[in-house]
Amino acid sequence: MPITLKSAEEIAKMRRAGRVVAEMLEACATAARPGITTADLDKVAREVLAKRRAKSNFLGYHGYPAVICTSPNDVIVHGIPGDYRLEEGDIISIDCGAIIEGWHGDAARTIPVGEISEEARKLLTVTEDSLWAGIEHVRKGARLSDIGHAVQTVAEGAGFSVVREYVGHGIGRAMHEEPQVPNYGDPGKGMKLKVGHCLAVEPMVNLGSPETQLNDDGWTVITADGSLSAHFEHSIAVTEDGPEVLTVLD
Ligand code: MF3
Ligand code: CO
């Protein structure tokens, strides 16, 4: 599949999908209190999808069984909602997606459950900062690798490590389109971004080593050293006026 440019009308539909995703994340963040299960969070997200008459892009994706991913503590990404009960002091990464009129949105954020450690708080702040540093380069004339370089500089500058095995992606009529968007690398390489390119940028940042391990369920990705991991993601369009983050509330 070639890398496609989206028209203003198409971006308007992606914006609507993005609003639904932001609403799912907001509802899950509010619900993420000690005692609630990750399956409860999936239910909260399903209710938003139903209310907005949006479809799930996660459910059934290569057989995936839920509408969100819930990844607590040392889980990096793709944790499956189930009977895990959130505890005071946990961090939990929630990844949400939605489809409106065939157009996709995808976003994630890591949420503190009650009072969390200073170390965990710093991991969350730095990972979100690294995402925004990357978003800054989702603009006309920038090179694809400028994004990952900016992410890596912020994350590693704070003493954390960046996951290599999982990357961001193009987004549009499919959740995962070309190109891949790594969260590391040298600047000034790869394709030149144009108005109409739409990307999901999604740094996964570990407190310890960057190595990952896949659990037996075939989905859940954890840190090899058991350290905490955070994940922040937005879907972004390149516009004449710079980056437009699509996965935000109105
Ligand atoms: N939203 C994830 C991503 O950012 C993909 C989730 S796929 C699923 O690329 F099958 F786990 F839902
Ligand atoms: Co994504």
User: pLDDT averaged over the chain?
Assistant: 98
Contact 76, 223 (CB under 8 A): yes
- Residue ranges of the chain whose pLDDT lies below 70: none
Residue among 20, 167, 175 whose CB has most ligand 1 atoms within 8 A, to mutate = 175
The rounded Cα 35 to chain-centroid distance in angstroms is 24
- Ligand 1, atom nearest to 175 Cα: 9
In terms of CATH architecture, what is 8-245? Alpha-Beta Complex (3.90)
| Residues whose beta carbon lies within 6 Å of some atom of ligand 1 | 58, 61, 64, 69, 78, 95, 97, 106, 200, 202, 233
> 58 CA distance to ligand 1 centroid (A)?
6
- Ligand 1, atom nearest to 61 Cα: 10
The pLDDT of residue 2: 84
> 176 CA distance to ligand 1 centroid (A)?
9
* Domain layout of the chain by residue ranges: 8-245
Tokens of 201: 């940028």
- Ligand 1, atom nearest to 96 Cα: 1
Nearest CA to 208 out of 192, 222, 189, 193 is that of 222
CA distance 85 to 53: 29
Q: How far is the CA of 48 from the CAs of 44, 67, 81, in angstroms?
A: 7, 11, 16
The pLDDT of residue 20: 98
Contact 149, 183 (CB under 8 A): no
Longest alpha-carbon distance in the chain: 48
CA distance 6 to 30: 33
Contact 91, 228 (CB under 8 A): yes
CA distance 116 to 211: 24
> 169 CA distance to ligand 1 centroid (A)?
11
The pLDDT of residue 1: 76
Instruction: Reply yes or no: is the peptide bond before residue 210 cis, omega within 30 of 0.
Output: no
Beta bridge partners of 177: 170
Long-range Cβ pairs for the range 7-12 (8 Å, 24+) = 7/196, 10/103, 10/172, 11/196, 11/198, 11/237, 11/239, 11/244, 11/246
The pLDDT of residue 168: 98
Contact 205, 180 (CB under 8 A): no
